[in-house]
Amino acid sequence: MTHLLSGHRLGGLTLPNRVVMAPMTRVRAAAGGLATPSMAAYYAQRATAGLIVSEGVQPSLIGQSNPGTPGLHTDEQTASWEQVTGAVHANGGRIFAQIMHGGRVSHPDTTGLQPVGPSAVAAVGDVFTPTGPQPSPVPRALATAEVPEHARSYADAARRAVDAGFDGVELHGANGYLISQFLSSNANLRTDRYGGPAARRIRFAVEAAEATADAVGGARTGIRLSPGGGFWGVEESDTTELYTALLAELARLELAYVHLEATVAEEVLLTLRRAWPGTLIVNPVLPMGPKQTGRDDADHWLDLGADLISFGRAFVSNPDLVERLRTGLPIAPADEATYFQGGDEGYLTYPPYAYAA
């Protein structure tokens, strides 16, 4: 039986345990999408994770989804991340940057630009803006000739990430953002080579992964997916066929990993485990659902064939999560009201476990 606290080889990295800090938006970036000293401290506090995956980082201005999120598309942004990667490495950790293009999940009040997507179909729900939630706008459908530029934006950001000291990158192909929109059968109504049957709807994801692997190496490239997730109104009429085809194409790129969210029935995830020959990270409970991932969930999926287990909310309030998992200490609850409020409260103020004297 694979043990959560045993080591694992990931590309060129040796992970001391199989605990992954999942990417989580915290909207603490400075003006201009810059990483800050507080962000460096936040990630450094959690460096005992086998791998940290950063919050979503926009690869372009038009790719920004939420206000207050960091970028990797200017020289100033790239330089600002050096303090983060340096702090994590100084504490013995490893960190990938999650590259996240929001696509239609954005707003002109946030970026000054009309959002883009595979088709002119608005997301379901309100999006965050500098003045509060507003209805999702109808995006501009990308012309066929424009699509490769947006696929390459992931690779451009990946180069900057490696220049800034990140150990690799994760493409955000999940949760209703741009890659997920192209995979969708209701957000993607295209009739060109990027739309229609599953074999064409996977093309954007494959091109983004291929460009990124060419830019920084497959061993430094992962991708996160949420099969059947339904976030922001995204639907897939053929989830198993779609993701089996996608994984077959990604396998030839020899990526570092695929990161699956438990957004579909377990038997479908097991089918995808069998379809993927490389390292698999599983986020074993529904993101933003009622339950946090615990040790039992992790052990269950390690027994089913996952290689690494990602923990989200538990890492927010437990910078020493690995030690708590190792010793069976209680997992402290997080204050959800502080998730997106900015500042250091609810960010740097969670202490490690306090042993009785």
Q: Per-residue pLDDT tens for 67-113?
A: 999 999 999 999 999 999 999 999 999 999 999 999 999 999 999 99
Cα distance between residue 1 and residue 64, in whole Å? 42
Of the listed ranges 64-78, 287-301, 330-344, the least confidently predicted one is 287-301
CA dihedral 127, 114, 342, 171 (to 10 degrees): 90
In this prediction, residue 290 carries a pLDDT of 74
In this prediction, residue 316 carries a pLDDT of 96
CATH number, position 133: 3.20.20.70
Using 50, 70 and 90 to split pLDDT, how confident is the model at 286? confident
Residue 180 lies in a domain: yes
Does 357 have pLDDT greater than 70?
Answer: no
Residues making up the chain, counted from first to last: 357
Amino acid at 107: H
Residue 334 lies in a domain: no
Residue 213 lies in a domain: yes
Q: How many helical (H) and strand (E) elements, i.e. helices and strands, does the chain have? A: 13, 14
Amino acid at 312: G
> What is the share, in percent, of the chain residues with pLDDT greater than 90?
95
Cα distance between residue 159 and residue 154, in whole Å? 9
Residue 17 lies in a domain: no
Residue 148 lies in a domain: yes
Residue 294 pairs with which residues in a beta bridge?
none
Amino acid at 225: L
Give the mean pLDDT of 145-171: 98
Give the mean pLDDT of 320-338: 94
Helix axes 203-216, 239-251, angle to 10 degrees: 20
In this prediction, residue 343 carries a pLDDT of 95
Give the mean pLDDT of 141-164: 98
Output the DSSP codes for 219-271.
Answer: GGEEEEE-TT--GGG---TTHHHHHHHHHHHHHTTT-SEEEEES-S-HHHHHH
Residue 349 lies in a domain: no
Amino acid at 93: G
For the chain, helix, strand, coil in percent to 5 are: 35, 15, 50
Residue 1 lies in a domain: no
> What is the share, in percent, of the chain residues with pLDDT greater than 70?
99
Give the mean pLDDT of 241-247: 98
Domain count, the chain: 1
Output the DSSP codes for 261-292.
Answer: ES-S-HHHHHHHHHH--S-EEEE-S-TTSS--
Does 150 have pLDDT greater than 80?
Answer: yes
Q: What is the mean pLDDT of the chain?
A: 96
Token pair recorded at residue 304:
């089913």
Token pair recorded at residue 73:
């598309």
Q: What is the DSSP letter of 294?
A: -
In this prediction, residue 244 carries a pLDDT of 98
Token pair recorded at residue 61:
């201005």
Does 120 have pLDDT greater than 70?
Answer: yes
Among 258, 297, 299, 263, CA closest to 280: 258
Give the mean pLDDT of 109-122: 98
Taking the CB of residue 162, how many other CB atoms lie within 10 A of it? 19
Residue 346 lies in a domain: no
- Please state whether beta strands 168-173 and 221-225 pair in parallel, antiparallel, or not at all (unpaired): parallel
In this prediction, residue 285 carries a pLDDT of 86
In this prediction, residue 292 carries a pLDDT of 84
Host domain of residue 152: 8-12+31-45+54-307
- Note if the pTM is more than 0.95: yes
Give catalytic residues, as residue numbers.
Answer: 177
Among 181, 267, 187, 261, CA closest to 224: 261
Does 356 have pLDDT greater than 70?
Answer: no
